């Protein structure tokens, strides 16, 4: 009996020893499996987006930023009076109480998002309700402080922080940073442990981006375009402003536009950056490149005579006419073909080139291919495959049968403006890592040389002739500067079916300023204007306003033409080729009446800031009276009118 008791005691003691040893083992030694079970039971993980990096213009003005916001979540199982809670939340967030109730009525759910990205004041109201089962997560809301400014280019993000359009989408990996996973603690029943109804987190930040855009110039461009669209009853418009030397994008606009803070209110068409994604037939603006390639290939020279058939040129069974009957010409020079925008003269030069040569030249200037701009959705345009029969060849020469993007056309003019180099256009100037303070600056990228420097100089002089007394671009002149450029009036292609829209046109002007040393290239186009449709009367005046503002804002010195400076121009060997011909463009006629700066006239100040107004007024010793606040809407006297003898003017701000 005694031995049985001892044996039982030993057995029980052994079992207890095993249990104590096991308990100690579990208590003091790490166990991955148990740790995983503990984590699974007492913690849940939610993923939060990082704070997106800000986007600035070239002068440091914010174009896109992230501000504090909150996201609301709930544990439906522990929420009481669900219908009442739903009504309270709907009143604060502006949501639908029924939708909120449907989300929280199921007691088996333990975590659900009720609203993502609500403003700070709404978050504070919800927190003060102290409703058990509701929680807030601190996040970041994307804000576009300038509303509609540059919206189709910058793009926007969704409620979940996902990039959807524009620069936000193209450079999402740079701006968004790394997402953060946040552990949310729960009690034994799986309920979230919320302290004061709010979960604070430290989120990483994406890199900051500086653009080549000048926000003030962009504002002026969009304001003037909107005015012109209204005046000519157009469907919309496009504008591109490039740095002539580098093809950096200084302004780019597609109107109508939209508020990037409310993107859902606009259609996909309006949200698209149509300067990059859409194509159109360029019309007469393409003649520049036909002539440039012909001169480069020694087919013609600027002073070569071309017989323009007095306005009617038969090619096979078809007849090519000038845009207007009074534009008919006999024998004129190649320079005058460009200045007068002769369809027949350009067609004859294209026929001399041949289809292979012409397509080679247009391809060289970047047409029919993507330029590689750092913006999404770039279109390459359309060039019809070879061979081109003579009539198609002629049509292409004056901008029909080929489509281009506004950016392509502006960039091709930049190649002429900068001496014959085709550069890759770009909009991102630099990227900065805010944590390391490391900055990467983008450099201009050359694609290829298209024409020689000599040919480019000849073309700049010829394009300056277009804005002369007898040229089609007189309205593009800017007082104090020599302007070079070309008008375009293109028929609008039908959106459905084949052929052209009846009475549908795209009026455009593409050029550079100042022509003697181009700093800026500007392309302007109005889509389907109903009150007037010629590029010379619709787009050229708009170019003049934008160019005038841009060069004065950049501090580009006016060219004061005197007998001395004109003599200097005449002594240039390239200019002499024009002056020695019977049929010539007189340099005196194209510049002398537009280049003099008169200090007695009221300066152009529209869209200036107060600081810019005061600076400009001080430099010209003008006394200014400011009325209102904001930017300049108008002045008295109006720009270009004589200043009073006391040199006082009134500036109206809005």
pLDDT of residue 289: 97
Nearest C-alpha neighbor of 224 from the set 611, 554, 544: 544
State the sign of the Cα–Cα–Cα–Cα dihedral 195, 196, 202, 203.
positive
Nearest C-alpha neighbor of 415 from the set 495, 344, 518: 518
Q: Is the peptide bond before 514 cis (omega within 30 degrees of 0)?
A: yes
Residue 404: count of CB within 10 angstroms of its CB: 27
pLDDT of residue 560: 52
pLDDT of residue 210: 97
Assigned token pair, 251 = 């302004």
Verdict on whether the full-model pTM lies above 0.75:
yes
Partners of 193 in beta bridges? none
When mean pLDDT is compared over 124-138, 184-198, 441-455, 567-581, the highest value belongs to: 441-455
Residue 646 has pLDDT above 80, yes or no: no
pLDDT of residue 7: 80
284 is catalytic: yes
- Alpha carbons 353 and 368: distance in angstroms, whole number: 19
Render pLDDT for 10-22 as a digit per residue (tens, 0 to 9): 888 888 888 887 7
Lowest mean pLDDT among 169-183, 245-259, 439-453, 528-542: 169-183
Nearest C-alpha neighbor of 103 from the set 62, 75, 125, 144: 75
Residue 585 has pLDDT above 50, yes or no: no
- Alpha carbons 595 and 552: distance in angstroms, whole number: 14
Report how far apart, in Å, the C-alpha atoms of 85 and of each of 81, 82, 92, 191, 516 are. 6, 5, 11, 18, 71
pLDDT class for 39, splitting at 50, 70, 90? low
Residue 198 has pLDDT above 50, yes or no: no
- Alpha carbons 574 and 215: distance in angstroms, whole number: 38
pLDDT of residue 645: 77
Strand 198-199 relative to strand 236-243, pairing? unpaired
**For 311-329, what is the mean pLDDT?**
85
Report how far apart, in Å, the C-alpha atoms of 248 and of each of 291, 407, 414, 424 are. 26, 11, 10, 8
Partners of 67 in beta bridges? 141
Render pLDDT for 21-31 as a digit per residue (tens, 0 to 9): 777 766 666 56
Assigned token pair, 34 = 């148990």
pLDDT class for 466, splitting at 50, 70, 90? very high
pLDDT of residue 161: 77
pLDDT of residue 221: 96
Assigned token pair, 217 = 């110039």
Residue 591 has pLDDT above 50, yes or no: no
Q: Which one from 151, 253, 254, 284 is the annotated catalytic residue?
A: 284
Residue 344 has pLDDT above 70, yes or no: yes
- Alpha carbons 388 and 447: distance in angstroms, whole number: 27
Lowest mean pLDDT among 220-234, 484-498, 522-536, 541-555: 484-498
Residue 390 has pLDDT above 70, yes or no: yes
- Exposure string of 521-542, with b = 16+ CB inside 10 Å and e = fewer, is bbbbbbbbbeeebbbbbbbbbb
Render pLDDT for 419-447 as a digit per residue (tens, 0 to 9): 999 999 999 999 999 888 899 999 999 99
Nearest C-alpha neighbor of 466 from the set 510, 522, 415: 510
Strand 421-424 relative to strand 331-333, pairing? unpaired
Partners of 251 in beta bridges? 241
CB 483 within 8 A of CB 476: yes
CB 321 within 8 A of CB 343: yes
Strand 134-143 relative to strand 198-199, pairing? parallel
Largest Cα span, the chain: 143
- Alpha carbons 23 and 25: distance in angstroms, whole number: 5
**For 285-293, what is the mean pLDDT?**
96
562 CB-side CA count, 13 A? 2
**For 357-383, what is the mean pLDDT?**
95
Nearest C-alpha neighbor of 487 from the set 342, 279, 596, 377: 342
Residue 576 has pLDDT above 60, yes or no: no
SS (H, E, C) 305-346: EEECHHHEEEECCEEEECCCHHHCCCEEEHHHHHHCCCHHHH
pLDDT of residue 569: 42
Residue 624 has pLDDT above 80, yes or no: yes
- Alpha carbons 180 and 582: distance in angstroms, whole number: 75
CB 540 within 8 A of CB 475: yes
Phi, psi torsion values for 400, nearest 5 degrees:
-115, 150
Assigned token pair, 502 = 């009846």
pLDDT of residue 1: 63
Report how far apart, in Å, the C-alpha atoms of 186 and of each of 130, 196, 562 are. 18, 15, 84
pLDDT class for 366, splitting at 50, 70, 90? very high
Chain centroid to CA 3: 97
DSSP 143-190: E-TTTTTTHHHH--B-TTS-B-SHHHHHTHHHHS---EEEEEEB-TTS
Percent of the residues in the chain that have a pLDDT greater than 70, as a whole number: 85
What average pLDDT does the structure give for the chain? Answer: 84
* Residue recorded with tokens 């028929």: 491
**For 562-575, what is the mean pLDDT?**
43
Assigned token pair, 474 = 């007189």
CB 42 within 8 A of CB 187: yes
Question: CA Rg, the chain, in Å?
Answer: 34
Residue 15: count of CB within 10 angstroms of its CB: 10
Assigned token pair, 31 = 């166990």
CB 42 within 8 A of CB 191: no
Residue 296 has pLDDT above 80, yes or no: yes
Report how far apart, in Å, the C-alpha atoms of 284 and of each of 206, 290, 473, 489, 541 are. 45, 10, 12, 6, 17
- Alpha carbons 469 and 559: distance in angstroms, whole number: 18
pLDDT of residue 598: 52
- Name which residue leads in pLDDT, 96 or 28: 96
Lowest mean pLDDT among 151-165, 331-345, 417-431, 553-567: 553-567
**For 269-275, what is the mean pLDDT?**
93
| Residues 6 or more apart whose Cβ sits within 8 Å of residue 383 | 359, 362, 363, 367, 368, 402
**For 402-427, what is the mean pLDDT?**
97
Strand 318-321 relative to strand 402-403, pairing? unpaired
Nearest C-alpha neighbor of 192 from the set 101, 124, 131: 131
pLDDT class for 594, splitting at 50, 70, 90? very low
């Amino acid at each position: 009996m005694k031995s049985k008791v001892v044996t039982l005691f030993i057995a029980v003691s052994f079992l207890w020893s095993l249990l104590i040893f096991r308990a100690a083992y579990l208590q003091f030694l790490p166990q991955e499996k148990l740790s995983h079970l503990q984590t699974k039971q007492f913690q849940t993980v939610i993923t939060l987006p990082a704070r997106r990096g800000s986007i600035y213009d070239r002068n440091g003005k914010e174009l896109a930023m992230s501000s504090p916001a909150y996201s609301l979540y709930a544990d439906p199982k522990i929420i009481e009076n669900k219908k009442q809670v739903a009504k309270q939340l709907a009143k604060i967030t502006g949501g639908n109480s029924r939708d909120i109730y449907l989300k929280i009525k199921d007691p088996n759910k333990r975590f659900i998002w009720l609203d993502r990205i609500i403003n700070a004041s709404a978050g504070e109201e919800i927190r003060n309700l102290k409703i058990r089962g509701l929680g807030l997560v601190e996040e970041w809301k994307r804000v576009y402080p300038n509303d509609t400014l540059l919206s189709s280019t910058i793009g926007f993000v969704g409620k979940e922080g996902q990039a959807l359009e524009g620069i936000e989408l193209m450079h999402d990996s740079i701006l968004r940073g790394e997402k953060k996973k946040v552990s949310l603690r729960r009690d034994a029943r799986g309920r979230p442990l919320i302290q004061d109804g709010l979960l604070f987190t430290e989120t990483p930040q994406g890199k900051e981006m500086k653009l080549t855009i000048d926000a003030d110039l962009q504002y002026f461009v969009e304001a003037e375009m909107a005015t012109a669209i209204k005046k000519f009853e157009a469907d919309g418009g496009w504008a591109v402003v490039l740095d002539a030397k580098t093809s950096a994008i200084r302004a780019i606009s597609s109107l109508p536009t939209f508020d990037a803070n409310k993107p859902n209110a606009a259609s996909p068409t309006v949200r698209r950056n149509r300067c990059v994604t859409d194509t159109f037939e360029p019309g007469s603006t393409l003649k520049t490149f036909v002539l440039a390639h012909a001169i480069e290939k020694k087919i013609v020279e600027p002073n070569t005579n071309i017989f323009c058939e007095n306005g009617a040129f038969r090619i096979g069974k078809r007849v090519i006419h000038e845009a207007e009957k009074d534009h008919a010409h006999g024998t004129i020079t190649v320079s005058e073909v460009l200045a007068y925008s002769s369809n027949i003269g350009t067609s004859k030069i294209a026929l001399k080139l041949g289809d292979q040569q012409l397509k080679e030249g247009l391809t060289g200037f970047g047409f029919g291919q993507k330029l590689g701009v750092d913006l999404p959705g770039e279109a390459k345009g359309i060039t019809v495959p070879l061979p081109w029969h003579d009539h198609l060849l002629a049509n292409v020469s004056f901008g029909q049968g080929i489509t281009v993007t506004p950016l392509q056309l502006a960039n091709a003019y930049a190649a002429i403006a900068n001496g014959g180099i085709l550069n890759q256009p770009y909009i991102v100037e630099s990227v900065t890592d805010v944590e390391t303070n490391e900055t990467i600056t983008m450099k201009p990228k050359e694609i290829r040389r298209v024409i020689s420097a000599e040919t480019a100089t000849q073309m700049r002089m010829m394009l300056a002739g277009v804005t002369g007394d007898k040229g089609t671009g007189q309205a593009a002149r800017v007082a104090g500067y020599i302007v070079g450029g070309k008008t375009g009036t293109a028929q609008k292609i039908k959106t459905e079916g084949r052929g052209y829209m009846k009475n549908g046109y795209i009026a455009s002007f593409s050029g550079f300023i100042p022509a003697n040393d181009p700093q800026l290239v500007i392309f302007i186009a109005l889509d389907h204007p109903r009150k007037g449709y010629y590029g010379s009367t619709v787009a050229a005046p708009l170019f003049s306003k934008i160019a005038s503002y841009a060069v004065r804002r950049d501090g580009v010195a006016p060219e004061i033409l005197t007998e001395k400076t004109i003599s200097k121009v005449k002594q240039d060997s390239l200019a002499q080729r024009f002056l020695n011909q019977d049929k010539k463009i007189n340099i005196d006629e194209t510049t002398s009446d537009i280049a003099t700066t008169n200090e007695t006239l009221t300066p152009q100040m529209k869209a200036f800031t107060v600081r810019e107004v005061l600076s400009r007024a001080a430099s010209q010793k003008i006394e200014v009276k400011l009325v209102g606040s904001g930017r300049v809407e108008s002045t008295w006297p109006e720009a270009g009118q004589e200043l009073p003898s006391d040199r006082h003017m009134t500036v109206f701000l809005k």
